[in-house]
Amino acid sequence: MEILCDLNSSSYVVCCYGNEITRSGDGKLYYNILLEKCCGGSLGSRIRNSGGVGLPENEVRCYTRDIVRGLCYIHDHGYVHCDIKLDNILLVMTCCNGLRAKIGHLGLAKEAYYNPVDEDDDDEGCSGMRGTFRYMSPELVEHIRCSVGFQTYGHLVAS
């Protein structure tokens, strides 16, 4: 929840409005995270529904710009997403009846720092594997120390 709150002021990251605990009729407690409604679905579903022809180049260019801005925002605030993939890019309507790509699903995000002391600790910093294997950078899969970068984004565009 802390990461969601820290990243709450970007037009390119899904907005979090808070959280609440509710009780159902049978007495069960539920923890709810209140997020921005992304009525355009995911970028993955948009591509899958394109009839096998993909998206027009101008649309890809717009989504690319939005995603890079979102990744820069996340990285500038000291975090890495750890699971960037087409189904985690959500689309929201803009005032011009277009769609803007926003980065969502920050559940695996973590602080981006490298501390040699933590090198063997999979729960700290940038060490350890997290996310969807298909979209991981070769450095992460091969356990090579690397900095925050855009390797995964190349996999997204190629998809």
CA quadruple 88, 151, 2, 27: dihedral, nearest 10: 30
CA-wise closest residue to 13 among 101, 109, 98, 102: 102
Task: Evaluate if residue 146 carries a pLDDT over 70.
Answer: no
Share of the chain above pLDDT 90, in %: 52
Distance of alpha carbon 70 from alpha carbon 91, whole angstroms = 13
Please name each of the domains of the chain with its CATH number: 38-158 (1.10.510.10)
The pLDDT of residue 95 is 81
| Active-site entry in 66, 83, 118, 120 | 83
Query: Among the residues of the chain, which ranges form H helices?
Result: 2-6, 43-48, 57-76, 138-141, 151-158
The pLDDT of residue 91 is 97
Kindly report, residue by residue over 69-120, the tens digit of the pLDDT.
999 999 999 998 888 999 999 999 998 778 999 999 988 888 876 555 555 5
The pLDDT of residue 117 is 57
Catalytic annotation present for 83: yes
State the residue for tokens 């600790």.
Answer: 121
Those residues with Cβ within 8 angstroms of residue 92's Cβ, 6 or more apart along the chain or in another chain:
36, 37, 38, 39, 40, 99, 100, 102
Cβ pair 19, 8 in contact under 8 A: no
pTM: 0.73
